Structure 1
Amino acid sequence: MANGSQRQAAWEFFGTELKRRREEAGLTQVELGAMVFVSGGYIGQFEQAIRKPQLDVAVRIDEVLQTAGFFERTWRKLIDDKRYADYFAEVVELERTATKICEFAPTVIPGLLQTAAYAQAVTLAANPFVTDEYVAEKVGARLERARILNDATRPEYWAILHEGTLRTPVGGAAAMAEQLEHIATLARERKVLVLVVPRSAGAFASMGGMVQLMEFEDAPPTLYTETSFSGELLDNPAVVKRAQRAYDLLRGAALSPEASLALIQSAAEDHRRCASTT
């Protein structure tokens, strides 16, 4: 697996080739953008390797520039990160350039907020017969994703958690206490804004699965939904709008940021007391 600088260099090559072939075709960024249904600024960001195109855009670029699948093949090679499930690798790339990320987690702490111990417990629960190397790779990849929350250009990050995720001792009481203390620290440092939907919210407590909404500087918002065994990345405006409305309703049913932080800290203390008595 190539390291971050090697991957960035490869995306810069992608951008350089896109610019060269666009200019050979006699097209401006605005003209090419119109032909592949994105803005000219979006094309410029591809060429500067600031953003990565989605697969359907790479395919359309090949069709317009008549490049015999070059950009699709290159995209697939660069996105092919074996540390992630096939359906999730593209999401990781999008997270790196998102300006805002909103997540709802009905059963598990979102990956961007997970500690190593929590990530290890989740990985082992889903894959009880794998090697230590496999677990270490998955945990390392998850922690690497989370680095975006410490970047100077980090996205505005919202997470709505169901209260049940705070109470379930994933990895044991001590690991869970550490996990919740980590979230509380990020919230106090104003790197994230975390809200909790209490159990008393009833029907508001579930949207049917994990949901992640991403917004970008110069691209339409994107929706990612996930079940236990698959995920789907969607950018249909009508579908994204419905998901945004559902997220707004959840936000209205959640506790305030202050009350949510207090509940997270209280749950952490409960887990810590439980760990000290075992």
Structure 2
Amino acid sequence: MANGARQAAWEFFGAELKRRRENAGFTQAALGARVFVSGGYIGQFEQAIRKPQLDVAQRIDEILQTEGFFERTWRKLIDDARYADYFAEVVELERTATKICEFAPALVPGLLQTAEYTRAVTLASNPFVTEEYIQEKVAARVERAQVLADATGPVYWVILHEHVVRIPVGGGAEMAAQLDHIAELARQRRALVQVLPTSAGAYPLMGRMVTLFEFEDAPPTAYTEAVYSGSLLDDPALVKRVQGAYDLLRAAALPPKASLALIESAAEDHRRCAGTT
């Protein structure tokens, strides 16, 4: 679904929510209290500024007695078979965010991955899948990355642990190409890239991938991922703590210029190991 059509569909979702809420005699605050969000959030859902999580859509159906209408609509708009269930909402947030900040302790983040890197990661986790499955995952990852090419896309700030640039995912030549891609995005100022060196030792959010989203007309949100699971964090106090930890990571990381030099040097090391220099 194209972004314009998707937004129109969310506007329909919001209009239906407002209509059915008012018909049921609820104010935004009253409905919010029943489904465990603020009245302001209900207003943002109705204006298509923010998208509800699945459990909120399900509770709205229960309170407004809409026989699953909002859950079915949510699934149609957000669920995408190309992504894990826990990650489909994150893809939607990437499309609407004004700023994205990521910390990657082990893997190149999806928005920066080349097709070859994605292929290698997919095969490592799924050694018995079909070629069709792999191509589908690669195509979905490439499509996600287009958000950084869009002139109206988000500001993108990423911190990579040095391990990410040193491990030759897919082989030396493929990893060199991946690092060249990251370096080019940094040089084009489409991404602000920092590297957290191994010499930094212990660091905040030790070993945890985290993404912070900011929006034009909605509160910030954080996302963190574990083994085959992920969590969106909406609680303002918790998001603020994650933002504070990210600020500490920025302070410990190399400056952008030094980070770019390290990435370029690592790319040359991978090329030498692959015998392609």
Superposed pair shares fold, TM > 0.5: yes
Structure 2 CA distance for aligned equivalents of residues 125 and 205 of structure 1: 28
The SS at the match of 2:96 is coil
Normalising by structure 2, we get a TM-score of 0.87
Following TM superposition, by how much is the alpha carbon of 1:48 offset from its aligned partner in structure 2, in angstroms? 5.6
Structure 2 CA distance for aligned equivalents of residues 48 and 248 of structure 1: 32
Following TM superposition, by how much is the alpha carbon of 1:180 offset from its aligned partner in structure 2, in angstroms? 0.7
1:167 aligns with 2:169: no
Following TM superposition, by how much is the alpha carbon of 1:152 offset from its aligned partner in structure 2, in angstroms? 2.1
Matched to 1:186, the amino acid is: L
Number of the residue aligned with 2:149: 150
Following TM superposition, by how much is the alpha carbon of 1:58 offset from its aligned partner in structure 2, in angstroms? 2.5
Of residues 239-248 and 172-181 in structure 1, the stretch that sits farther from structure 2 once superposed is 239-248
Following TM superposition, by how much is the alpha carbon of 1:111 offset from its aligned partner in structure 2, in angstroms? 0.6
Q: Quick one: percent identity of the two aligned structures? A: 74
The RMSD of aligned alpha carbons is 2.7
Following TM superposition, by how much is the alpha carbon of 1:50 offset from its aligned partner in structure 2, in angstroms? 5.2
Contact 1:197 1:205 in 2 (8 A): no
Matches within 5 A, 1:55-94: 55-62=54-61, 65-94=64-93
Normalising by structure 1, we get a TM-score of 0.87
Matches within 5 A, 1:1-278: 7-8=6-7, 10-22=9-21, 24=23, 37-38=37-38, 46-47=45-46, 49=48, 51-62=50-61, 65-204=64-203, 207-277=206-276
* Aligned CA distance change for structure 1 residues 60 and 205 (closer, same or farther; 3 Å): closer
Structure 2 CA distance for aligned equivalents of residues 35 and 99 of structure 1: 30
Matched to 1:195, the amino acid is: Q
Q: Which runs of 5+ in 2 are unaligned?
A: none
Matched to 1:226, the amino acid is: E
Q: Which runs of 5+ in 1 are unaligned?
A: none
* Aligned CA distance change for structure 1 residues 155 and 6 (closer, same or farther; 3 Å): closer
Matched to 1:209, the amino acid is: R
Contact 2:82 2:136 in 1 (8 A): yes
Structure 2 CA distance for aligned equivalents of residues 191 and 35 of structure 1: 42
Structure 2 CA distance for aligned equivalents of residues 217 and 77 of structure 1: 25
The SS at the match of 2:140 is helix
Following TM superposition, by how much is the alpha carbon of 1:163 offset from its aligned partner in structure 2, in angstroms? 0.8
Following TM superposition, by how much is the alpha carbon of 1:241 offset from its aligned partner in structure 2, in angstroms? 1.9
Structure 2 CA distance for aligned equivalents of residues 223 and 234 of structure 1: 5
Of residues 129-138 and 203-212 in structure 1, the stretch that sits farther from structure 2 once superposed is 203-212
Matched to 2:158, the amino acid is: A
The SS at the match of 1:224 is strand
Following TM superposition, by how much is the alpha carbon of 1:100 offset from its aligned partner in structure 2, in angstroms? 1.4
* Aligned CA distance change for structure 1 residues 43 and 149 (closer, same or farther; 3 Å): farther
The SS at the match of 2:203 is helix
Structure 2 CA distance for aligned equivalents of residues 9 and 74 of structure 1: 13
Size of the aligned set, in residue pairs, is: 276
Contact 1:162 1:196 in 2 (8 A): yes
Matched to 1:193, the amino acid is: L
Of residues 49-58 and 266-275 in structure 1, the stretch that sits farther from structure 2 once superposed is 49-58
Contact 2:80 2:88 in 1 (8 A): yes
Contact 2:224 2:231 in 1 (8 A): yes
The SS at the match of 1:195 is strand
